[in-house]
């Protein structure tokens, strides 16, 4: 199936988000999904435009709020493969509260963060993922705040699927998205997606020199949470691959007493026309 649509992305040439878009489209197709099976909810930022570039249902939400919408969507229609996406500012600053609670709640959705360690859409300010000392217009003398490590954070709050990739590795990125979709529960995938216009430090070459992959370690066990944390701490979080996966933890939906297989959107709610009209009037 072709998940491309006719909308031309207006990202800068070379932006890492192009690869994330291509990997998403490939992962949907290789997972045997049809466009009507997939819904993408995005936040605000350059990367937030991605929901408009895929031949699937798209919802461009408000800043930092893709996760509440995506979780509601999944609970209303469990047949949908629901993807939330956005940038590191969207997910780890204004949306951090939602990120933490979505992780611990564990609704079966996949959250793909395009992490460029800067605010691109607003022309280059320091983000919660910028390293200390990082100089931008908002921190001309260098950032004096510590950077959030999203992978360590996710492990700490009990995530069942934690993976990381980089835009230059289309194959690896497609693979982690496929696995995130297959995972039953909340999946966090952080993608180093370089902003070629405003971040001149964390470039494609920089990642090539600094990233290590769990796939290169024959003794690595992604079901071992302590090993995952140690690996991340040893490499300042610069680790790619499926860092941790807990296949035993049930998704939120499976734990709701009396929850039906089919989502609300597919259930016969058995309300009369009169009740329906009353409800729609109340919410009008």
Contact between 183 and 160 under an 8 Å Cβ cutoff? The reply is yes
| By CB under 6 A, residue 139 contacts ligand SF4 | no
| By CB under 6 A, residue 195 contacts ligand SF4 | yes
Distance (Å, whole) CA 28 – CA 14: 23
Exactly one of 28, 198, 207, 244 binds ligand SF4 (CB under 6 A); that residue is: 198
| By CB under 6 A, residue 18 contacts ligand SF4 | no
Q: Decide the pairing of beta strands 187-192 and 110-115.
A: parallel
Exactly one of 61, 64, 91, 120 binds ligand SF4 (CB under 6 A); that residue is: 120
Q: Give all strands (DSSP E) within 81-160, no chain letters.
A: 81-87, 110-115
Going by C-beta distance under 8 Å and a sequence separation of 6 or more, which residues neighbour residue 199? 116, 117, 118, 120, 124
Compare residues 31 and 197 and give the one whose CB is closer to ligand SF4.
Answer: 197
Q: Which stretch binds ligand SF4 (CB under 6 A): 113-121, 220-228, 231-239, 269-277?
A: 113-121
Angle at 215 between CA 212 and CA 219, to 5 degrees: 105
Distance (Å, whole) CA 99 – CA 186: 10
Exactly one of 5, 31, 168, 197 binds ligand SF4 (CB under 6 A); that residue is: 197
Chain positions 147 to 176 lying near ligand SF4, rule: CB under 6 A, are none
Name which of 217, 191, 256, 251 is nearest 24 in CA terms.
191
| By CB under 6 A, residue 112 contacts ligand SF4 | no
Residue 116 C-beta: closest distance to ligand SF4, Å: 5
| By CB under 6 A, residue 15 contacts ligand SF4 | yes
Exactly one of 21, 44, 46, 177 binds ligand SF4 (CB under 6 A); that residue is: 46
| By CB under 6 A, residue 12 contacts ligand SF4 | yes
Residue 195 C-beta: closest distance to ligand SF4, Å: 3
Name which of 218, 210, 197, 109 is nearest 166 in CA terms.
210
């Amino acid at each position: 199936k072709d998940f491309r649509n006719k909308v031309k992305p207006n990202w800068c040439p070379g932006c890492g988000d192009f690869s994330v878009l291509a990997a998403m489209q490939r992962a949907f197709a290789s997972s045997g999904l049809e466009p009507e099976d997939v819904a993408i909810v995005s936040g605000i930022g350059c990367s937030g435009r991605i929901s408009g570039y895929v031949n699937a249902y798209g919802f461009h939400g408000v800043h930092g709020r893709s996760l509440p919408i995506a979780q509601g969507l999944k609970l209303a229609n469990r047949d949908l493969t629901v993807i939330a996406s956005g940038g590191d500012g969207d997910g780890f600053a204004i949306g951090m509260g939602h990120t933490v609670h979505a992780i611990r709640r564990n609704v079966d959705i996949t959250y793909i963060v395009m992490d460029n360690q800067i605010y691109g859409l607003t022309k280059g300010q320091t983000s919660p993922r910028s390293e200390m000392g990082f100089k931008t217009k908002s921190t001309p003398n260098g950032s004096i705040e510590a950077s959030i490590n999203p992978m360590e954070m996710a492990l700490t709050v009990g995530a069942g699927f934690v993976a990381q990739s980089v835009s230059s590795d289309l194959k690896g990125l497609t693979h982690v998205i496929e696995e995130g979709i297959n995972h039953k529960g909340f999946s966090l995938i952080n993608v180093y997606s370089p902003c070629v216009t405003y971040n001149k430090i964390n470039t494609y070459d920089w990642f090539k020199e600094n990233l290590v992959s769990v796939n290169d370690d024959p003794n690595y066990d992604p079901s071992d949470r302590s090993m995952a944390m140690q690996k991340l701490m040893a490499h300042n979080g610069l680790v790619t691959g499926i860092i941790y996966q807990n296949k035993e933890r049930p998704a939120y939906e499976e734990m709701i007493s009396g929850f039906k297989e089919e989502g609300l959107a597919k259930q016969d709610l058995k309300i009369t026309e009169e009740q329906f009209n009353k409800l729609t009037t109340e919410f009008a």
